[in-house]
Structure 1
Amino acid sequence: MQSRVSWVAEVGLLAAFITITSTFKLPGVMPGTEFQLSAPLATAICVVFGFGKYITAGLLSSVVGLMLGTQSLLNVFIAMVFRVTVGLLVVLLGRSWPVIVLAGPIGSAIGRLVLGGIIGKAVIPLLLAALPGMIYTALLTCPVTALLQRVKEQREKVMRHVVQR
């Protein structure tokens, strides 16, 4: 069983990772088509660390973004739509590779549909603008998930060694 201190530290680190990677964007060919590196990381966090840590880290990341002025309430709302969609897909459908690959792009698509409904603009252009990022997310989520899984396994190995001493 994980201690509270360990849980808080892990969630804090995951929130920091999400916050930092959300500031890095790969440019797209047109404005609005940039890719945010936090999408595959967030999906991988959900898969490896579970929904509770994932959603808590995401909420903390959003609070930090609001405090720093790098996110608006609309950004946070759309990010939460993404997070809840990804989380529900992983919880309901499991951690198979097809789910891991598709959860992020589906979360992005649902986020764009909700954004289109909020701002009253055509959803198709919003989805088309998000398509390159969805492809990047699908391609990067598996390697990021594998990396985080190795990190988690190493952490657990170290913690078992420390407890044995």
Structure 2
Amino acid sequence: MNKKVYTIVEISLLASFIIISGAFKIPTGIPGSEFQMSAPIAIAICAVFGFKRYIIAGIIASSILFMLGIHTLLNIEIAMIFRIVGGGIVAIFRTRLPVLIVAGPIGTLAARFVLALTLQVPALSLIIAAIPGMIFTAIMSYPIMRVMQKVYQRKGMKQHEKMV
């Protein structure tokens, strides 16, 4: 298996991971503000695998969910703004702890502002509903990234190169 095939498989698995983690929702006690596990996982994926692989996996995930009728264009808008802003912060400022703490919440804020513009509703109501998820993302992004790093270092491309 060459490097191109390995990269395609890896991105496909990352897209699947984004899709599956988005299906798990944690209730927050505020109606309509349940939190998807995909946010801290997305930031961790960007930190470990890089922005390019992360954004390609995100586009694939959104496309699959849209084709299956699970996501609407609004869902895709929210996800892509989050990915570009949160992932962009990680890509620019790297994987230091403070960066991983703020990348997800800032991505969520940006997505909520854009959604408010799209729906022509006050942004504050959308942001307030997202606060529990933003806190969870801030807390969990770094630990999830560390776990992914350890797994990737053991079984990632470096392991593949040893076998060839």
Partner of 2:72: 72
For residue 101 of structure 1, report the CA deviation from its aligned partner: 1.1
User: What is the alpha-carbon distance in structure 2 between the residues aligned to residue 38 and residue 158 of structure 1?
Assistant: 26
Fraction of identical pairs, as percent: 43
Deviations along 1:57-89, one digit per CA (max 9) or x if unpaired, are 000000111012110011101100000001211
Letter in 2 for 1:84: I
Letter in 1 for 2:24: F
Partner of 2:135: 135
8 Å Cα contact 1:25-1:35 kept in structure 2: yes
For residue 149 of structure 1, report the CA deviation from its aligned partner: 0.3
For the structure 1 residues 139 and 27, does the alpha-carbon distance in structure 2 shift closer, same or farther, using more than 3 Å as the test? same
For residue 133 of structure 1, report the CA deviation from its aligned partner: 0.3
User: What is the alpha-carbon distance in structure 2 between the residues aligned to residue 127 and residue 38 of structure 1?
Assistant: 18
Structure 2: any 5+ residue segments left out of the alignment? none
Structure 1: any 5+ residue segments left out of the alignment? none
How large is the Cα RMSD of the aligned pairs?
A: 1.2
For residue 24 of structure 1, report the CA deviation from its aligned partner: 0.8
8 Å Cα contact 1:101-1:139 kept in structure 2: yes
Letter in 1 for 2:148: L
Letter in 2 for 1:95: T
* Normalised TM-score (structure 2): 0.95
User: What is the alpha-carbon distance in structure 1 between the residues aligned to residue 36 and residue 159 of structure 2?
Assistant: 32
Deviations along 1:26-62, one digit per CA (max 9) or x if unpaired, are 0121222111000000100100000110000000000
Partner of 1:24: 24
Deviations along 1:96-153, one digit per CA (max 9) or x if unpaired, are 1100111001100110011111111111111110000000111111111011101110
User: What is the alpha-carbon distance in structure 1 between the residues aligned to residue 159 and residue 87 of structure 2?
Assistant: 28
User: What is the alpha-carbon distance in structure 1 between the residues aligned to residue 17 and residue 149 of structure 2?
Assistant: 15
Partner of 1:37: 37
* Normalised TM-score (structure 1): 0.94
8 Å Cα contact 1:66-1:72 kept in structure 2: yes
| Number of residue pairs the alignment of both structures matches | 162
Partner of 2:11: 11
Instruction: After TM superposition, list the pairs within 5 Å mapping 1:124-163 onto structure 2.
Output: 124-156=124-156, 157-163=158-164
For residue 160 of structure 1, report the CA deviation from its aligned partner: 3.7
Instruction: After TM superposition, list the pairs within 5 Å mapping 1:46-65 onto structure 2.
Output: 46-65=46-65
